[in-house]
Chains A and B, each alone.
Chain A
Amino acid sequence: MGNRRSFVRSHRLLIQLRYPAVLLGALILLGITGCSKEGSQTSASNAPGHKRTIVFVFKVAGISYSAACRRGAEEAAKKLGINVEYMAPQQALADMQRDMIETQIVRHPDAIVISPDDSEAIKPVIAEAMRKGIKVFTWDSDSKTSQRIFYVAAVDDVQIGEDIANALAKAINYKGKVLIMSGGRGADNLNKHVDGMEMAFSKYPGITVIKPVLYNDDDKSKAVNMAIEALQQHPNVAGIACANSPSPPACGEALERTGKVGKVKVWGLALPSETRPYLKNGSVTGLYLWDPAQLTYLAAVLVNNDLSGHPPVNGETLDHVGKITYKDGQVTLPIRLTITKQNVDQFNF
């Protein structure tokens, strides 16, 4: 009797568990198939000393710029014959990025290359990594006062801001109100772009910059919303200067939605693939950029050379790229591009 009762009980449990079990199984399977695509070159790096490992930690996953950087890292792994890993937090949050880097320190790779979400918040963890003998570099965005060895960038961060502002000023005939849109509040490169823009705009008496700067946290849907709201709030705005890559296509979309294509000019940094339709219909006037994959690839090359005992030299010529400049801890690569309606079709990133 007792036996039978317990049999029924366990049997009942099995019956009742079948739905959640199937559902959970399906969900997990879906997750595993999803990540097996990219989790390929990861666990091989666990044996230290055998193969050099460089880990790239970007600001945020989920934007096309980040995906292009990942391609550059993968290319570097192939061409240099080393392990190159690429990761980024789900949201552009400094503490998520820090936790991610802390775990990487435990794995003790040869080098960690970071594009910090927050140039200040990253300092303690960079110091910890350096203390433990891991060489830390920055690329794409800097943390100048940290202990990082050098910073790899495609442009001077302030200069590119000035250039965008000057180009936009020309497009709006040097008069009118302009908006500035950026990504994360703590991102050093974006803040320098914004500084450069404000500096350049202040030289034109006819131009007023609308405060505050709009920060969209590198989230494109949020950027579209913010741009639409800003255009409602300032109906007579003449131009938008964009410091981060999701902003120009988002502004282009917002102009289409509010019927202001052509009336408002947009200049900024963005991927041509993502901005092509907006360049073509005239909602985005022009872009400055570099190929993020190339930037990441070259950062890997420079870091790899440094690990082999060949730090970058000012004026040295890099294969297929040209002369690099190296001063104040910043390596600047001559890979800047100007992208407009006319030449956008040449680029595949």
Chain B
Amino acid sequence: MSNRTASRPRKIFALFTIRELPALAILLVSIVWLSLTRPAFRSIDNLTAVGQDAAFVGILACGEALVILTGGIDLSVAANLAMSGCVAGMMMIAGVAWPLAVVAALAVAGLGGLVNGVLITYRRLPPILVTLATWFIFRSIISIVTHSRNYAPFPNSFANLGGGNLPFVVFVLVVIGLALMTLRTRFGRRVIAIGGSETASELSGLPVDAIKRRVYLIAGLCAGLSALLMMARNNNVESSVASGYELHAIAAVVVGGVRLSGGEGTILGAALGAAIYAVLHDALILYGQRAELYGLITGAIILAAAFGEVLRRRVEESKYKAANIAVTGETASK
């Protein structure tokens, strides 16, 4: 089935309008329900906080979505976030001007992503194992280097970047940028083609390895960006920051309708998934529940999304069968 969609790029555009529907529906329903039942939800302060939450997970999820579109997976994104964040934190506390620290953090994050890409493509090691190993390695290296201490406070000009709506604006820009890239550029189309069928892409002469390396690099950069925004908001960073966020990001991607085996889905879907995460997380708080219980909701919406995917596949398969019968019937009549 994956081969079929990849060989018909137009089909992807047709699906694009459908795949995000469940996520969009969940998001709208929960926003409407919350604004009706919990007036505090509509307050500017609360919406700002929800936007920030969505941004931290969402930027991570956008990078993760690209990786998953190629049929890979990156478990190391949150560890990479911690690593690059701590590097920037160390530099700022040491008195380096913050723009330099930001550049350094992005460089480290990109390097982390590239390490994954290189190990996966040059050595053809399974992405899940490579990124499992780098998850350990990134987090432990930065814990050792920083002696697990936290870095705070940062210069005001930097910390102010994390307040207000700036994280959300950056998130929207990242979504627009990456979405345009996947839909409008040759690189983006190739990413989806690889996820559809790696063998077919390789046979048709696509530089599969180079594209994959770039995808992991972008996922790393997204982690770095998310790290910078998160540490600016918290005005604090430590090597244990964002532990567990890799799963939030993957869950957001899956909820957003991106197929885990690659080839189908969009950046917009992943962004919607992250927004759902932020809104429902907020709902739990507004309803006076402990935020740790978010796991139950995550579990439920992942299952809901997966059920949707299974249903969609069944419908498509039956359509395909019907079409096949029609075609064979036609040839028989000729």
A–B contact with Cβ pairs below 8 Å: the answer is yes
Enumerate chain A interface residues (CB-CB to B < 8 A). 16, 19-20, 23, 27, 30-31, 34-35, 38, 61-64, 66-67, 88, 90-91, 212, 219-221, 224-226, 228-230, 232-233, 235, 246, 249-250, 253, 256-259, 274, 277
CB-CB under 8 A from B140, the residues of chain A are: 31
Q: Does B92 contact A (CB under 8 A)?
A: no
CB-CB under 8 A from B43, the residues of chain A are: 232, 235
Q: From residue A248, how far is it (CB to closest CB) to chain B in Å?
A: 12
A27 touches B137 (CB 8 A): yes
Q: From residue A173, how far is it (CB to closest CB) to chain B in Å?
A: 25
A31 touches B236 (CB 8 A): no
Q: From residue B292, how far is it (CB to closest CB) to chain A in Å?
A: 9
Residue of A nearest to B162 (CB): A257
Out of A62, A91, A250, which one reaches B149, CB within 8 Å? A62
Residue of B nearest to A254 (CB): B234
Out of B118, B230, B241, which one reaches A23, CB within 8 Å? B118
Q: From residue B287, how far is it (CB to closest CB) to chain A in Å?
A: 9
Residues 109-165 of B contacting A (Cβ, < 8 Å): 115, 118-119, 122-123, 137, 140-141, 143-145, 147-150, 152-153, 163
Q: From residue A76, how far is it (CB to closest CB) to chain B in Å?
A: 19
Contacts between chains A and B (CB distance < 8 A), count? 110
In the complex the two chains form, what is the Cα distance from A292 to B236 in whole Å? 21
Q: Does B288 contact A (CB under 8 A)?
A: yes
B40 touches A257 (CB 8 A): no
Residue of B nearest to A39 (CB): B144
The answer to whether residues A91 and B240 also contact, given A30-B141, A63-B150, A232-B45 and a CB cut-off of 8 A, is: yes
In the complex the two chains form, what is the Cα distance from A349 to B78 in whole Å? 31
Given contacts A62-B148, A67-B147, 16 further A-B contacts (CB under 8 A): A20-B122, A20-B123, A23-B119, A35-B144, A61-B148, A90-B148, A220-B236, A221-B238, A224-B233, A229-B285, A230-B285, A233-B285, A249-B152, A253-B153, A257-B233, A277-B153
B118 touches A38 (CB 8 A): no
Residue of A nearest to B239 (CB): A62
CB-CB under 8 A from B28, the residues of chain A are: none
Q: From residue A59, how far is it (CB to closest CB) to chain B in Å?
A: 12
Q: Does B57 contact A (CB under 8 A)?
A: no
Residue of B nearest to A276 (CB): B153
B7-50 vs A, CB cutoff 8 Å, 1 = contact: the mask equals: 00000000000000000000000000000000010010110010
In the complex the two chains form, what is the Cα distance from A250 to B147 in whole Å? 20
B: number of interface residues (CB 8 Å): 41
Q: From residue B62, how far is it (CB to closest CB) to chain A in Å?
A: 21
The answer to whether residues A274 and B122 also contact, given A27-B141, A35-B144, A233-B285 and a CB cut-off of 8 A, is: no
Residue of B nearest to A88 (CB): B148
Q: From residue A216, how far is it (CB to closest CB) to chain B in Å?
A: 11
Q: From residue B13, how far is it (CB to closest CB) to chain A in Å?
A: 37
A62 touches B152 (CB 8 A): no
In the complex the two chains form, what is the Cα distance from A250 to B153 in whole Å? 11
In the complex the two chains form, what is the Cα distance from A7 to B45 in whole Å? 68
Q: From residue B299, how far is it (CB to closest CB) to chain A in Å?
A: 21
Residue of A nearest to B235 (CB): A253
B118 touches A19 (CB 8 A): yes
CB-CB under 8 A from A212, the residues of chain B are: 290
In the complex the two chains form, what is the Cα distance from A229 to B53 in whole Å? 11
Out of A30, A62, A233, which one reaches B240, CB within 8 Å? A62
A232 touches B240 (CB 8 A): no
B225-264 vs A, CB cutoff 8 Å, 1 = contact: the mask equals: 0000010011111111111000000000000000000000
